[in-house]
Amino acid sequence: MKANTRFKKAIISSGPTREWIDPVRYISNASSGKMGFHIAKEILSWIPNVVYVHGNVSDKYANVEGAKNVYAETTIALRDAIVAELENDTLVIMAAAPADFRPIMIAENKIKKETTVGLMIELEKNPDILMALNASLKDKKYDSSVLIGFAAETEKLEEHALGKLERKGLKFIIGNYVGKSNTGFGEVDSSIRIFSKDGMIKEINNQPKEILAKGISDFLKEHA
């Protein structure tokens, strides 16, 4: 395999973000951060300058040795942390699962159940980080930086993945099935498919995330 030396920096995001409803409750998702953590470790073997930006992951996925480790709690904080690190010749891998919505207001005190029969929480859309990064790269004319996304889907993987690749200006998108009856989130074995705009170009089936991460890193080293 030929070595890829063109990237000066890699930014890997990982894990879920949190959007607070009140001082004790938040909206989040089931992402563990395991995939992003292992990708960051693998990428370090060929891009020495790695920034690992993570949401609320467990301690074991919070620190990639040899990387700059940055914590971002909310989707907006995650976007800002990545934009601040963006340069030319940067490989950005968005393995994080940012919350897509946030409450319009965060209640100052714990919402008490006695005060209401049910509860309506009004949400507004969070920014799409990859779209913001794509706009930022164009704006700054950072033409030699590359964006890689994930597509976590419960159905129609290829169709949704290719739609996201196009909308978000990605070079490659890594698709996987998630949900209760599938194996995408958390500690279990999983399968991934890598798509370019021309369709699927690589698949790795039923492997632990450590092995998938190495497969993804090796693929990007050669093709990104």
Residues that bind ligand CTP (CB under 6 A): 75, 94, 96-98, 100, 126, 128-130, 149-152, 164
CB nearer to ligand CTP: give 40 or 94. 94
- Give the integer Cα–Cα distance in Å for 93 and 112: 40
CB of 168 to ligand CTP, least distance (A): 6
Which structure tokens are listed for 175? 């698709």
Whether 29 is a known active-site residue: answer: yes
* DSSP count for the chain of H helices, then E strands: 5, 12
CB of 125 to ligand CTP, least distance (A): 8
CB of 100 to ligand CTP, least distance (A): 5
CB nearer to ligand CTP: give 42 or 128. 128
CB nearer to ligand CTP: give 2 or 137. 137
Block residue for tokens 């209401």: 116
Block residue for tokens 């370090």: 44
CB of 167 to ligand CTP, least distance (A): 8
CB nearer to ligand CTP: give 129 or 146. 129
CB nearer to ligand CTP: give 91 or 97. 97
Closest CA to 76 of 134, 128, 39: 128
- Give the integer Cα–Cα distance in Å for 95 and 68: 16
For the chain, report the end-to-end CA distance as a whole number of angstroms: 13
CB of 136 to ligand CTP, least distance (A): 12
Q: In whole angstroms, how far apart are CA 118 and each of 25, 110, 133?
A: 16, 15, 39
Beta strands, E only, the chain: 9-14, 19-22, 25-27, 50-54, 68-71, 90-94, 101-103, 123-125, 146-153, 172-177, 190-196, 199-207
Active-site choice (4, 29, 88, 182): 29
Give catalytic residues, as residue numbers: 29
